[in-house]
Amino acid sequence: MARFTLPEAHAILAFMMTPVLDDIDKDWLTGLDVTASQQALLDRCTEAWKLCLEVYGDLPCPRIWFDLRGKTAGQAHFGRGGLRFNPVLYDENRYAFLINIVPHEMAHWLVDHLEGSEKMRPHGHEWKTVMRELFGLAPDVTHCFDTGRASPAPHIYACSCMRHTFTNRRHGLVLGGKRYHCRSCLLPLTYLGRNEDIKVS
């Protein structure tokens, strides 16, 4: 499979108009059930991939999974050959995912297939160039979504010296009578609430 060199890719991007993926009707997107909303993300990935083909015509179409957990919104997984998305965060932030997260991950997918990609930083100059000049978006590295429901450890406990995060399973054990103590101060842990309801210092 032919690969563009960095100068070739930059030259193509530099002379292109600034294409922007079509906007999304928020009311339509909000009204979709989970299956239909995930199909909307799959369709958006196809649109973004087709846009990338204008830069690199042999770019393989990535596979898509909704199996990412925790606080990460999306991930380009080159070992598996595709893109992973967090289904909980997506369901709560559908519009932002289609507008920003999909292009963010597709930009990673494109840059990884360029010649010399092994020497590039994940959010380096090449990735930022694709975000700005191909997708017409600011190259934001992180998201600001509320990750309370998506976090694998949403429950906050405290002792005298620190705060501790518990998973739903571990919190369930506490509700069933199990007691935990801090390994540092040895005092019992007290439940404060879920991390979306309190400020964690």
Q: Cα Rg for the chain, rounded, in angstroms?
A: 21
Q: How far is CA 158 from CA 15, 114, 201, in A?
A: 56, 48, 11
Q: Is 105 noted as a catalytic residue in this protein?
A: yes
Residue 4 corresponds to which tokens in the numbers above?
A: 């563009």
Ramachandran area for residue 179 (φ above 0: left; ψ -120 to 50: alpha; else beta): beta
Please identify which residue in the block is written with the tokens 């846009």.
Answer: 51
Query: From the candidates 92, 105, 118, 126, which is the catalytic residue?
Result: 105
Q: What residues pair up with 190 in beta bridges, in sequence order?
A: 158
Going from the C-alpha of 119 to that of each of 113, 124, 134, 139, 157, the distances in angstroms are 12, 10, 21, 19, 42
How far is 72 from 124, CA to CA, in rounded Å?
A: 19
Spell out the residues 6+ positions from residue 158 whose beta carbon is closer than 8 angstroms to its own: 164, 189, 190, 192
Q: Which residues are catalytic?
A: 105
